[in-house]
Structure 1
Amino acid sequence: MIGFIGLGIMGENMAANLLEKGERLVVFNRTKEKAHALMDKGAVWADSPREVGEQADIVFTMLTDPGAVQAVIFGEDGLFSGMKKNGLWVDASTVKPAFTKEMAKAARAHDIRFVDAPVSGSKAPAQQGKLHFLVGGDEKDVKEITPLLEKMGQSIQYMGGNGNGSATKLAVNMLLVQSLTGLSEAVSFGEAVGLDREHLMDVLLALPVTSDIQAGKRDTILNQDFDPQFPLEHAYKDLQQISETAYEAGAPLPMTNSVKELYALAKKNGYGKQDVAAVYALLARD
């Protein structure tokens, strides 16, 4: 039995792929309503993380932030109060590497194995089973979960020990957010000086200065349809974690910190629940 805790935009789709590809699943989410679709497909509901741990040998968590992870693991009826000795916890949440290392240490103290396996990809790749896993942990544990990761993703990048998966995810999201901000700024600049938005967008995307991830946001920006694939408020949270991690490591991030403040402004102006590309709407508004 596989456990899955955290059934948001990403987690629900990841869990659905496990179910559809033959795995028996026990699930928990803070709001039970988000589990109904999975339960209709055969997933077993657990009333607490503890009950997930009691039933599953491997447990995945996909949660919003470190606070949510701590609540699930250490809170009342938390995962560690029920998980079997030598069980395997796989955290796919986007969190700081320092926090990941703390979780690995806590897991060892409870005789639980731990792998950090955050993902690159948003809602559509999660639905399609085409995520990219960025993995840190013991190689034997990674080998054990590889068949499960392959049911949810198209690639598995082993980065070394615990914390390295999380560190890689922050580097990936740093580049992702900067690239979308750059495209948004270029298009809004072009509009301001009188260029046709759609024509400019297509010219930019035809040149080698742009990327596939930017091309994937073409219609989102042109139609200003910011249905969240990756919510802007989550991008802002990740930028804050990147900034804190860089401070701890003594790494200068002049571009990233400027972008972080732009996303803080976007969130303050009501774009937090919209897609990450909604930063364009902030830049382009009158």
Structure 2
Amino acid sequence: MANVGFIGLGVMGAPMALNILKGGHSLSVFDLNPDAVARLVEAGATACSSPREVGAASDFVVTMLPEPRHVREAILGKDGVAEGLRKGGIVIEMSTIDPKTSQSVGDELRKRGMNLVDSPVGKTSEHAVTGTLTLMIGGEPEAIARAEPVLDCMGNEKYYCGGPGMGHAMKITNNVLATTIMVANTEALAMGLKCGLTLELMQSVMKNTMAWNSQFSTAMPKKGFLGDDSPGFAIRLAAKDVRLACELEESLGIPSRIGRGGLAALDAAIVAGYGDRDTARLMFMLEEKLGVEARQQPVKKAG
């Protein structure tokens, strides 16, 4: 069993860290929220006062943080992980950040005799709890092999995406598509409802057309169609992911028409004060504006 550190104990990070403990590893943790740290300490983790202290206690350090700048600061900044982690140590970076940041932080760690494996995650906080996340992994093969016992505590589906930064490239690609599909769903459903169609009819028809998608079939029935926008995938984080994707697209010479449109809808929700609510709130905003409501009702069978 390994000495593992974990930095970032939010909605996803906290259950991921708990699963590392359940896997038999020792765990040192740091978060700016003392209550989040206290819950992990109660479960058996050791609290640290800085990322540097986490690094000094660990062979592997997992980071699960909101923005690229937070990742860079936690790893390479003053009192960062790199100041404490011994040579040969590995950072497992699991946030949703752009591949360029991932690669530059990894390059700096390798100069210091350390390494970085990028492994952002797919699925939801429910899967974080059960240890069944999808892992999109990038890095040097030897470092990935060493990190696998820790990764196996958190996910059961592993996709090897290539060298350093390629896990993050895959995650950004996934998230911009998933989020813009969600935004398109809310607009299309609101239009149909305002025209007088029912949600059930639209579901029945679209199941048999190219309009069907996992946001419509899986995500929205669990949240939006139940009237629930309690924190799950926060709008501010969705906006961050899409913004990073738009910037990456544009740096590659790709016009970001769809991404920028989706980002505008997310930014409008943030301006309205809903940044910490689940992305289901986008549907509710249109409902309130149009005087309609998309709620799941039991399907009535003919006859």
Same topology, TM > 0.5: yes
Contact 1:25 1:44 in 2 (8 A): yes
| Cα deviation, residue 212, structure 1 | 3.2
Residue of structure 2 equivalent to 1:265: 268
Question: Aligned runs of 1:20-31 on 2, under 5 Å?
Answer: 20-31=22-33
Deviations 1:98-157 (A, max 9, x none): 111110111112211111111112211111111111111001111111222121112111
Matched, 1:250 2:243: no
Question: Aligned runs of 1:76-155 on 2, under 5 Å?
Answer: 76-155=78-157
For the structure 1 residues 259 and 204, does the alpha-carbon distance in structure 2 shift closer, same or farther, using more than 3 Å as the test? Answer: farther
Contact 1:129 1:154 in 2 (8 A): yes
Based on CA coordinates, which of the two structures has the bigger radius of gyration? 2
| Cα deviation, residue 221, structure 1 | 1.6
1:134 partner SS = strand
Matched, 1:218 2:221: yes
| Cα deviation, residue 205, structure 1 | 6.3
Distance 1:232 1:65 in 2: 14
Distance 2:273 2:264 in 1: 15
For the structure 1 residues 261 and 204, does the alpha-carbon distance in structure 2 shift closer, same or farther, using more than 3 Å as the test? Answer: farther
Residue of structure 1 equivalent to 2:44: 42
For the structure 1 residues 86 and 156, does the alpha-carbon distance in structure 2 shift closer, same or farther, using more than 3 Å as the test? Answer: same
2:272 partner SS = helix
Distance 1:37 1:17 in 2: 13
Deviations 1:3-34 (A, max 9, x none): 11110111101001111222211111112211
Contact 2:118 2:137 in 1 (8 A): yes
Matched, 1:240 2:234: no
The one-letter code matched in structure 2 to 1:207 is N
1:35 partner SS = helix
Deviations 1:218-273 (A, max 9, x none): 14222321012211110001111011111111122221111111111121112211
For the structure 1 residues 113 and 249, does the alpha-carbon distance in structure 2 shift closer, same or farther, using more than 3 Å as the test? Answer: same
2:223 partner SS = helix
Residue of structure 2 equivalent to 1:203: 204
2:180 aligned to 162, 178, 181, which one?
178
Contact 2:125 2:232 in 1 (8 A): yes
Distance 1:204 1:22 in 2: 49
Distance 2:108 2:204 in 1: 51
1:252 partner SS = coil
Distance 2:34 2:165 in 1: 31
Provide the identity percentage: 31
Stretch moving more, 163-172 or 147-156: 147-156
Distance 2:202 2:148 in 1: 39
Distance 2:171 2:205 in 1: 27
1:161 aligned to 155, 160, 163, which one?
163
The one-letter code matched in structure 2 to 1:34 is A
Contact 1:65 1:94 in 2 (8 A): yes
For the structure 1 residues 245 and 192, does the alpha-carbon distance in structure 2 shift closer, same or farther, using more than 3 Å as the test? Answer: same
1:271 partner SS = coil
Unaligned 5+ segments in structure 1 are: none
RMSD of Structure 2 on Structure 1 (CA): 1.5
Question: Aligned runs of 1:7-86 on 2, under 5 Å?
Answer: 7-86=9-88
Larger relative helix fraction: 1
